[in-house]
Amino acid sequence: MAQHFSLAACDVVGFDMDHTLCRYNLPESALLIYNSFAQFLVKEKGYDKELLTVTPEDWDFCCKGLALDLEDGNFIKLADNGTVLRASHGTKMMPPEALAEAYGQKEWKHFMSDTGMACRSGKYYFYDNYFDLPGALLCARVVDSLTKQNNGQKTFDFWKDIVAGIQHNYKMSAFKENCGIYFPEIKRDPGRYLHTCPESVKKWLQQLKNAGKILLLITSSHSDYCRLLCEYILGNDFTDLFDIVITNALKPGFFSHLPSQRPFWTLEKDEEQEALPSLDKPGWYSQGNAVHLYELLKKMTGRNEPKVVYFGDSMHSDIFPARHYSNWETVLILEELRGDRDGKPEESEPLEKKGKYEGPKAKPLNTLSKKWGSFFIDSVSGLENTEDSLVYTWSCKRISTYSTIAIPSLEAIAELPLDYKFLRFSSSNSKTAGYYPNPPLILSNNETLTTK
């Protein structure tokens, strides 16, 4: 494999929308997502009203890459070899002795050595992105509440109520019907929750188009929500930038399912109209699959194997499936890289917004959790009289396995020439090679980590 990656060599440039093209004001959006679920659980399902009160300190629990064991209510953080590095029952962290007793040094029972293992299953749930993370805090607090009410309850059956909360707040018709809490609030005050696209990124998108690249937008959000976001962050003429827009893409199934399982649908006034046997021309579609999309890209580029790069923030929905099933180049948007160099999170909102909104603030979800430690590495206790050793996390291993490069935001590369040569992740490069503009400081300082 080549040592370097360049956008100039790509025929097609695709983007996810949420947390990729559209950056959110994380402290505000986290609180909104949390409330959308908490209100539903309390009002519709009879859960403890304590869930409605969340303090700024509570948000330290949130950390990408955690798995929730749906049966026992434990959250775990995995090493790259599948052993458990840290665990909590609800929000209560397990001390070393309890951790050793529960998990020992053996592989977690649901782990599969392929780092692309499912993130969704009836037995566990991986928290992979910033839409998920407020749900991790809520589920942990639900476990706390049920454990307290039922004198140390050992098994849990609350997940069906979380799924009902997702259905209520985020179903396909929720935006149109003004249903739930989330969509009505985003519509009411988008500026509170969304960052507009920087001018540098808008110019860069136009530059890609001018260079003859085909631009794609592929999002699992529905068309009405996608339109609201894109008009707010890019302007009313945003459709001029993209050759193909695919909404309700139902990723990762968009990449992994057969065309017969996931046809494209035409859209009219945000309603799906007609299933298509193939994709014949550019435009705005719903659902679909990567195989039929690639056939259209061949026609549009006149190439047998057009080279596609896809930008996304979710390892589960974007990066792993685009690489594994479609063999596309992948660029991971990793906001954990923001502000990492000086130990301070990047300013989470513009100065003019400071103090504008009342209420408890979530810490920015891209900052370090004191409870869970680094997203990238962690320590494993040594035997008696031996030093602790540092190991890569499972999340970190997946980044270097499935991403071409990882960047903190589109803005980080928008002013580079299109033929800029990025050093890519590969087995022949160092573990930190693919991070741009800099690797996480904690990885730079520990280049020679144990790989277990």
> Model confidence over 62-120: pLDDT tens digits?
999 999 999 899 999 999 999 999 999 999 999 999 999 999 888 999 887 665 666 66
> Under DSSP, is residue 276 helix (H, G, I), strand (E, B) or coil?
strand
> Under DSSP, is residue 120 helix (H, G, I), strand (E, B) or coil?
strand
DSSP state of 22: B
User: Which pLDDT does position 58 carry in this prediction?
Assistant: 95
Q: What is the mean pLDDT of the chain?
A: 90
- What b-and-e string marks burial along 5-27, b requiring 16 or more CB atoms within 10 Å of the CB? bbbeebbbbbbbbbbbbbbbbbb
Q: What angle do CA 97, 102, 384 make, to 5 degrees?
A: 35
For residue 165, count other CB atoms closer than 10 A to its CB.
21
For residue 402, pLDDT beyond 70: yes
**Global confidence as pTM:** 0.92
User: Which pLDDT does position 118 carry in this prediction?
Assistant: 60
Paired residues of 312 in beta bridges: 332
**Reported confidence tier of residue 387, pLDDT bands at 50, 70, 90:** low
Paired residues of 267 in beta bridges: 272
User: Which pLDDT does position 340 carry in this prediction?
Assistant: 52
User: What mean pLDDT do residues 440-451 have?
Assistant: 72
Positions annotated as catalytic residues are: 16, 18
d(CA 154, CA 122): 17
Smallest CA-to-CA distance from 371 within 18, 12, 66, 42 is with 66
**Reported confidence tier of residue 151, pLDDT bands at 50, 70, 90:** confident
- Class of the 1-23+195-339+374-441 domain? alpha beta
**Per-position DSSP letters for 339-383, written without gaps between them:** TGGGTSPPPSS-GGGTTTS-SPPPPPTTSPBTTTB-SSEEEEPPS
Domain boundaries for CATH 3.40.50.1000 within the chain: 1-23+195-339+374-441
